[in-house]
Structure 1
Amino acid sequence: MTRSTSSPGAAATAARAALPFLPLGLLAALGAVLAYLWKAPCRYGGAWNDGTQQFLNFCYTDIYPLWWNEKLDQGVTPYFGHPVEYPVGIGSLMWVIQHLVSGTADPGVRFYDLTVFVMAASLVAGVVIMVALAGLQGRPWDAAWYALAPALILTAYINWDLLCGALSLGAFLAWSRRAHFTAGVLLGLAVATKFYPVVFFGPLFLLALRSRKLQAFLWAVAGTVITWVAVNLPFMLLAFDGWKRFYVFSSERGADWGSLWFFFQRRGWPFLGDAERLDMLGIASFGVLCLAIAVLALAAPTRPRLMQLCFLVLAAFMVTNKVWSPQYVLWLVPFAVLARPKWKPLVLWQVAECWYFFAIWLYLVTQQPGNEALGWGDGAYFSAVWARAITIVILAVFVVRDILRPGHDVIRQNGVDDPIGGVFDGAEDHFVLRLRPSTAVREPAPGSS
């Protein structure tokens, strides 16, 4: 008779590890439903067809008007019959749903409903993946932030961001399990859906350089490149003009709602408010912040955790971007929580994001002639813009402090190093910048042998 290798203790441990998945998945489903109900005045009350009421009811979405703006109502195929301002992941999803709702009553609303269903499923999947990631850090219930964050409920269905979020989180779960090529495949799909995940290669490279794990990084890069090319190449070859629209539009657009550059231009600031220098200023400021993050990653006494650097580079990208839409908060929520799960700064940031959510719609009301008395002017709106930026900077400062003083990091307790970091977890340092001479013996990273 073969004796089982399992034990009651191991079974109990496995049961405890699996316990958070169901309730947190249900919380994510609740968040998805609440987000749908938030749009009810537009979805059921017809406010989408009124340029003022959709703002006064705070239920605007990009999804509904794009049924017409992208000529989906005419049966036109995205990219082939009409250039689309989104990457091919979103355009392909548009095409699939276009065929599902064509011929139905009120297809624009049906297009919204089915798109929302996919986004709701993406939220649930993203939360479940985050449970697994946060569980590696010994804090699975932190995923509740992603399920029910107030700003998430307000912005969930403005655009297609939740799909990219699930793919990005899935990539880091694969990385944590040392499935590097799979991580790259998922990041390739994420970049083909929304371009921002490309910034995550910076943290992966820096930590791979410091720990001499470049082979793992190169496998991830290979997976990303192969996947991105495989997804994009048919459109590039057969519908190049339609495919390039996203990249041309991104490079040509000016400072838009929510960005600090929009404030500088609106206020007429010298140099910073110069529209001709916008691209240079945006790239240069992001580059400077990335350089600072690189120095931090390579010179910190203890190697930073992967999620800390991912949060910092994504926050830098958002703050320096020439567009900062309300739903961009969805990008940052899981990484902010995984980087530093302390509730007070997170609550402060969520308050600022909610404030901005209401401010942008009331501000847009005042941009319509005759509605100046119905909304908010420049002063109230730009105070919300700066509140959002400042609270993210506060979060970043705390993360930097945790990197420089790991004793403050709630994850790095009891000898824990970087449980989401995969090959970086417990790895030795091989490349460290020495910014000043030191004769002291550096303590090993938590969890290293």
Structure 2
Amino acid sequence: MSTQSTAGIDETGTTDHPSRSDGFVRGASELIGGPLGDHAVALDRPAGRESRFWTASRIVLALVCLTLALHWVQKSPCQDGAWQNNVQYTRMCYTDVLALYYAEGLNEGKVPYADHPVEYPVVTGYFMGALGLPVHALGVDNPGINQGRWFYNLNALVLSALAVATVAVILNLRRRRPWDAALFALAPALLLTATVNWDLLAVGLAAFGLFAWARRRPALAGVLLGLAGAAKMWPLFLLGPILVLGLRAGRIRAALTAVGTAVVAVVAVNLPVAIPYVDNWRRFFDLNTERPIDWGTLWYIGRYLDGKISPSAPGDLGPFEWLNAHIGALNWVSYLLFGLACLGVAALGLFAPRRPRLAQLAFLVVAAFLIFSKVWSQQFVLWLLPLAVLARPRWGAFLAWQVAEVCYFTAFYGELLGSVTSRPVFPEGVFVLAASLRLITVAVLCGFVIRDILRPERDAVRATYADDPDGGVLDGADDAPWLPRRRPTASAPEPVTA
């Protein structure tokens, strides 16, 4: 059993430098003189020693603040709420946060769920009301102010704070790899989608939950993941990997504690709404059940291909068009594929040569959900960002995925503008190509993570840490007696360029 700190985070040893350990960064560094030298002044020194103010952690925190400031500038053309001449599409600055302030009746002082059905889970609804109702009250007392602008900027401030907190969590989980957090801080997808919706609320809560698990506080981790799952459903999927790895490591009590407290948290925040306002509360579930194939998904790409293949007889529907016409069947096929993917991830977690790290399985589960879901909104990329950083902190494949996300973001707004003006912005098929590239790059990232699991000597994190710095009670644990195997001895990783 490896020796780790009681918090589950190894804080000893030397700091990783990407220009030495990451093949992509090492190659790029040749443009500015090559990798960091042996006698260079390190930005991060061991705890307790005098260091410069601009440590790696502080630089990364400054970078994420810069990214969020640029995001605010990018969204500024839409902040007045006028949105004339399709400015929300031509400037690519649309945000649900501003649009739903009016659509959900917050500008009229309506209380979410009590006075108006809300299309999001309850913690997001609470969040909308907690910020929106005071803005409405301010507008009543000051009729001249732009309530929509105030609401958006207040949300942008809080959501940005959650993004900074997420980076701080990554930095704490990776104290010997602080530059990993720069992947999140500098992600183009963060710059473009940070406040398109309230997804950073769930991202921040889920990050705190993972940190609590790493600190060996499973009950608190469950509460935070439950609250995150009551904001957006996907954080609840992280409980599956915790259960699988807890079973493999013989730490099932801690895993069940996390799952149990998560269930309690979800029920506790839902009941005050679900009991008195059940019809308004069900709006989220009804919408997700009734929605047809949405833009940019695997199913959308399939519908496009259906349209390019001549039917065998007039009136015949291709398989994807048929599913879109039969939403119930589409739902079950999507659930089935996601369920099969989860079974595959569980088998990988139980029978891989060495127990996978928690972040690796978490990334695979959430990525599988997006790949097979009938809805894949532009801001859902935020769900994967911190998990991708923790699961596989390699710059090459990560940047390729981010380029694909930027291409999709641009093509998406071109498609929106073309649909409202009836004048195509891009040639036919460009949007489907962009959606395909996004799907392919996420699938490729999944392939790399699976390869790292099957060949742990290639795992960048285990090249720095003895086991799993995010694992909490799993960190350094041997396999349970019912699953006898000798864990392979860690070896130096092979060079990886992707």
Q: Which residue of 1 aligns with 2:203?
A: 165
Alignment of 1:294-373 (within 5 A): 294-372=346-424
Gap runs ≥5 in structure 1: 1-8, 435-440
CA apart distance, 1:247: 1.3
Report the residue type matching 1:63 in the other structure: V
CA distance in 1, matches of 2:71, 2:133: 25
Alignment of 1:379-398 (within 5 A): 379-398=429-448
Contact 1:101 1:107 in 2 (8 A): yes
Q: Which residue of 1 aligns with 2:331?
A: 279
Q: Which residue of 2 aligns with 1:124?
A: 164
Q: Percent identity?
A: 42
Alignment of 1:110-189 (within 5 A): 110-135=150-175, 138-189=176-227
Give per-residue Cα distances to partners, 1:190-237, cap 9 Å, x unaligned. Answer: 011111111111111110111111100111112212211221111112
SS of 2:174's partner is helix
SS of 2:268's partner is helix
SS of 1:86's partner is coil
Report the residue type matching 2:430 in the other structure: A
Contact 1:126 1:170 in 2 (8 A): yes
Q: Of 97, 105, 108, which residue of structure 2 is paired with 1:71?
A: 105
Q: Which residue of 1 aligns with 2:61?
A: 25
CA distance in 2, matches of 1:194, 1:401: 29
Report the residue type matching 2:74 in the other structure: W
1:52 aligns with 2:92: no
Give per-residue Cα distances to partners, 1:145-181, cap 9 Å, x unaligned. Answer: 2122111101111001111111111111110110000
CA distance in 1, matches of 2:379, 2:165: 18
CA distance in 2, matches of 1:370, 1:428: 61
1:423 aligns with 2:456: no
The number of aligned residues is 427
Report the residue type matching 1:115 in the other structure: N
CA apart distance, 1:421: 0.6
SS of 1:52's partner is helix
CA apart distance, 1:365: 1.1
Contact 2:223 2:265 in 1 (8 A): yes
Q: Of 120, 125, 128, which residue of structure 2 is paired with 1:86?
A: 120
CA distance in 1, matches of 2:291, 2:272: 26
Give per-residue Cα distances to partners, 1:260-313, cap 9 Å, x unaligned. Answer: 112223443732442212112211111121111111111111111111101111
Gap runs ≥5 in structure 2: 1-11, 14-44, 308-317, 492-498
CA distance in 2, matches of 1:376, 1:340: 34
Contact 1:184 1:219 in 2 (8 A): yes
Q: Of 296, 300, 309, which residue of structure 2 is paired with 1:258?
A: 296
Q: Which residue of 2 aligns with 1:404?
A: 454
Q: Which residue of 2 aligns with 1:203?
A: 241
1:131–1:218 distance in 2 versus 1, CA, 3 Å: same
SS of 2:303's partner is helix
- TM-score, structure 1 as length reference: 0.90
CA distance in 1, matches of 2:335, 2:242: 21
CA distance in 2, matches of 1:284, 1:15: 53
CA apart distance, 1:21: 3.9
Contact 1:35 1:153 in 2 (8 A): yes
- TM-score, structure 2 as length reference: 0.81
CA distance in 1, matches of 2:465, 2:126: 46
Q: Which residue of 1 aligns with 2:311?
A: none
User: CA RMSD of the aligned region, Å?
Assistant: 2.3
Q: Which residue of 2 aligns with 1:212?
A: 250
Contact 1:417 1:445 in 2 (8 A): no
Higher relative contact order (CA 8 A, sep 6+): 2
CA distance in 2, matches of 1:426, 1:414: 14
1:43–1:431 distance in 2 versus 1, CA, 3 Å: farther
Contact 1:32 1:153 in 2 (8 A): yes
